[in-house]
Amino acid sequence: MVSLPVRNAFTVDVEDFFQVAAFRRQVAVEQWPQFTLRVVDNTLRVLDWMECRQILGTFFVLGWVAERAPALVREILHRGHEVASHGYGHQLIYEIGPDRFRLDVRRARQILEDAGGEKICGYRAPSYSITARSLWALDILIEEGFTWDSSIYPIIHDLYGIPGGNRFLHWIQRPAGQIREFPITTYELRLARARVRLPVGGGGYLRLLPAPWIRRAFEKINQEEGQPAILYFHPWEIDPQQPRIQAPWRSRFRHYLNLERTFGKLDYLVRHLPFAPVREVLAAVEGQERTAFRCHGVAHA
């Protein structure tokens, strides 16, 4: 158990509006170069705002973006933030299979390390697509030298999710070894005799739910369960002026809902909750674990 005070992880998935899974049937990867990049300016806006609020975070940068904007990777690092991998081509892992996945993560990691000059230790799958049918991806991440992952969403969803999965930081043991998993945050509501998990970690749920409600959920996770939570969003979510893509109504609803409110909600949350990069949250938790281990040893000496 993590002792208070608990800091939460602030994370940004650096991808552009035309690369999201909701539009994958409308915009093929081969069409991406036809679009004007908006992710660079949007990410710089995020960086400026974070500097004003004096917070640091972890940026999961898509290799495709870093390949075209290596200076953005350097700017993220220059401002003191952590860079992690979001893969290269933003393809759902369970659709591309093990061989293509390995090539994807290798390519992305090399681009990020060449651009920033720092080793990349963390990974987040496109659209959280490490699910029960793609757990083999964790073995590949371990074999490729990643030490932590933040790809598992322990909820029910049509694109992702491992319902009933561990909600908090934990080690996952695989045939290839072990890796630290930082699942996307859920809050458990007790309704009668049932427990219902609500996704409160960010993205569309951030845009849908009231910010004070998300704040209370994070505070209860921190104070009552003694665990760090993780917040995520995408630079395109602060960009209401982005071009509209013609897609089915559900995809449009998921992508365009409340874009004009994202920045205000983020600003509210960082003013009321403590945040840090993933690396610092992991270091704090590991320090608490080492302390607990030593104390346990003394108690039984």
Sequence ranges of the domains in the chain: 8-299
Instruction: Please compute the mean of the pLDDT values over residues 253-279 and round it to a whole number.
Output: 96
Q: Is the peptide bond before 274 cis (omega within 30 degrees of 0)?
A: no
Percent of the chain with pLDDT over 90: 88
Do 183 and 199 touch, CB atoms closer than 8 A?
no
| Confidence band, pLDDT 50/70/90 cuts, at residue 292 | low
The pLDDT assigned to 102 comes to 98
Taking 60 as the threshold, does the pLDDT of residue 296 lie above it? no
Q: What angle do CA 31, 34, 36 make, to 5 degrees?
A: 130
Average pLDDT of the residues in 256-275: 97
C-alpha–C-alpha distance, residues 173 and 190, integer Å: 30
- The pTM for the full model equals 0.93
Residue 264 confidence (pLDDT): 97
CA distances to 54, 179, 234 from 110, rounded to whole Å, are 30, 20, 22
User: Which has more pLDDT, 279 or 189?
Assistant: 279
Q: Does domain 8-299 have CATH number 3.20.20.370?
A: yes
pLDDT band at residue 300 using 50, 70 and 90 as cut-offs: very low
Residue 134 has pLDDT above 80, yes or no: yes
pLDDT: which is higher, 79 or 156: 79
Give me the mean pLDDT over the 295-301 stretch: 44
Mean pLDDT within 100-128: 98
